Amino acid sequence: MSGVTFDEVTKRFGDTTAVENMSLEVADGEFMVLLGPSGCGKSTALRMIAGLEEVSDGMLSIGNRVVNNIPPRERDIAMVFQSYALYPHMSVRKNIESPLVANRANRLPAGERSERIDEAAEVLGLTDYLDRKPGELSGGQRQRVALARAIVRRPEVFLMDEPLSNLDAKLRTQTRLELVELHRRLRTTFVYVTHDQVEAMTMADRIAIINDGHVQQVGRPQEVYDRPANLFVARFIGSPPMNTISGTVGTSGTGGNVATEAGVVAVAELSGSRAGDEVVLGVRPEYLKPRDPSKDDPGAGGLRARVENIEMLGHERHLLTRVGNEVMVARLDPALPPPSIGDEVVLEADAANVYLFDPSTTERLGSGTSTPTATVVADG
Ligand SMILES: Nc1ncnc2c1ncn2[C@@H]1O[C@H](COP(=O)(O)OP(=O)(O)O)[C@@H](O)[C@H]1O
Ligand SMILES: [Mg+2]
C-alpha cells in the first residue's frame, strides 16, 4: 500500500488552469475526499493520479515513486467512475474478473482468480449474483459490481469519481456506509471525489476542500466544520450554510461586539481583530435563536430580522429570514412554537459560536475563535 503526494502540481488545458499549485499528502491507508463545486478541478486531480491526464508542472508521487512519466497501466491503482460501464453481455463473475485477464502476459492462475472473485463478491454482497448479467441487477448492485471489479486487483490506491451520483437517495446513504466498511476492511488508500459535502463529512478520514483549482483547507470533517480556514470553506461545509453579514468591530480585547446594519452582535473572542476593523461575521444556523422584540429590553443585542419562510423538515425547522440585505437561516427545534411568516424577530447569536473573517483575504480571524471546545480533536 502507499499514499499519494501532490507537490505543487499544476494542470493546464490550453488557457484553462484546472489545478494550480496543488500540494496535498494522502497518507497510506487514508480515506481522503476531494470536495468542491462542479468544475473546481477534482476529476482532473484524480485523473492525474490515474495517469489519464499528464501533469503540467510539479511532482506527483504514489508511494515513494514519482509517477509523472509512468503510464497508467504501470500504476498500481484502480478507478471507479459515476458511470460504471460494465460489460452487458458478460456475467457478474466475468465482469469482476475482467481486470485480471486484461493483460495476457502476466495472468494469475485460474484458481487464484476465482478465489479473488469470490472474496470480492463476498465483501460486496454479490455472492448470489455472480451468474447474472448486469441487466438483471439494480443500480446499486451494478455499482457494487464496479467496486468489486476494482478491489479484485488489490491495488495500492483506489480512485473514485462521484461513484454514488447515479444512485437514489436511500441507496446512496446505504452505499456510503458500505464504502466506509470496505475501506475499514481493506485499509487501502482511497481518494474519493465528490461535490456532496454530506458524502465527504460522513466518509472521509480527511477532506481536501477545493475551489477554482486551489486547495482551500485539508482537515478532518469535524475540524473543517468547526474551524473553517476561510469564507469559502465556511459556506461550503454545513447545510443550510453558515450565515454571513458585514460589520465593524466595536470593542477590542477578548470579548466585544460587531455592529452590523441590522444590529449589534456580541462576540466571545475578538483575537485577530481590533476596534474599527471591517469584518464579515458568520454564524451557523444552529446558533441563531429568534426572540420576540416586543418583550425586549432596548439595549439587548441581536439582528433585526423579518421571517420570510418556514420549512419544516420533521426533525428540525428552518426559519428563513431577511436581515438587512442578507437572507439568514436559523435552525430551530421543531418542538418549540415557531414565529409566523411576516413576523419581526431579533436573531440572537450564540457569542461563543460567532466567526469573524477578513473581508479582503476571506481568511478566518483568530485562532481558537468560535471553536466549540467540546468538539476540538487533537491532531494526529
Ligand atoms: N480535457 C479537458 N480539456 C479542456 N478543459 C478541461 C478538460 N478537462 C477539464 N477541463 C476544465 O478544467 C476545469 C476542471 O474540470 P474538472 O476537473 O472536470 O472539474 P470537477 O471534476 O471538479 O467538476 C474545468 O474548467 C473544465 O472545463
Ligand atoms: Mg468531475
**pLDDT (tens place) for every residue of the chain, 380 residues total:** 689 999 999 999 999 999 999 999 999 999 999 999 999 999 999 999 999 999 999 999 999 999 999 999 899 999 998 777 899 999 999 999 999 998 777 788 999 999 999 999 988 889 999 999 999 998 888 988 998 999 898 899 999 999 988 888 888 888 898 899 999 998 999 999 999 999 999 999 999 999 999 999 999 999 999 999 999 999 999 999 999 999 999 975 567 899 999 999 999 888 788 889 999 999 999 999 998 887 766 667 899 999 999 999 999 999 999 999 899 999 999 998 889 999 999 999 999 999 999 999 999 998 643 334 333 334 43
Out of 3.40.50.300, 3.30.450.40, 3.40.50.720, 1.10.10.10, the CATH code matching 4-231 is 3.40.50.300
Q: Decide: 211 in ligand 1 pocket, CB within 6 A.
A: no
- Angstrom distances, CA of residue 215 to CA of 25, 219, 339: 12, 11, 41
Atom number in ligand 1 closest to CA 44? 17
Report the alpha-carbon angle 17-23-29, nearest 5.
125
Report the alpha-carbon angle 83-84-85, nearest 5.
95
Q: Decide: 41 in ligand 1 pocket, CB within 6 A.
A: yes
Cis amide linkage into residue 240, ω under 30° from 0: yes
Other beta carbons less than 10 A from residue 23's beta carbon: 13
Distance CA 335, CA 358 (A): 37
pLDDT of residue 379: 41
DSSP states of 230-259 as a string? BHHHHHHSSSSPPEEEEEEE---SSSEEEE
Cα 49 to averaged position of ligand 1 atoms, centre (Å)? 15
Q: How many CA atoms lie within 13 A of 20 on its CB side?
A: 9
Report the alpha-carbon angle 371-377-380, nearest 5.
135
Q: Where are the domains of the chain?
A: 4-231, 241-370
pLDDT of residue 261: 94
C-alpha cell at 153: 486487483
- Angstrom distances, CA of residue 13 to CA of 18, 70, 259, 268: 7, 20, 46, 47
CATH architecture of 241-370: Beta Barrel (2.40)
Helix (H, G, I), strand (E, B) or coil at 136: helix
Q: Decide: 37 in ligand 1 pocket, CB within 6 A.
A: no
Atom 17 of ligand 1, residue of closest alpha carbon: 41
Strand partners, 235: none
Q: Decide: 38 in ligand 1 pocket, CB within 6 A.
A: yes
Atom number in ligand 1 closest to CA 47? 17
Q: Decide: 18 in ligand 1 pocket, CB within 6 A.
A: yes
What lies within 8 Å, CB to CB, of 380 at 6+ separation is none
Q: What is the DSSP letter of 316?
A: -
Distance CA 179, CA 148 (A): 11
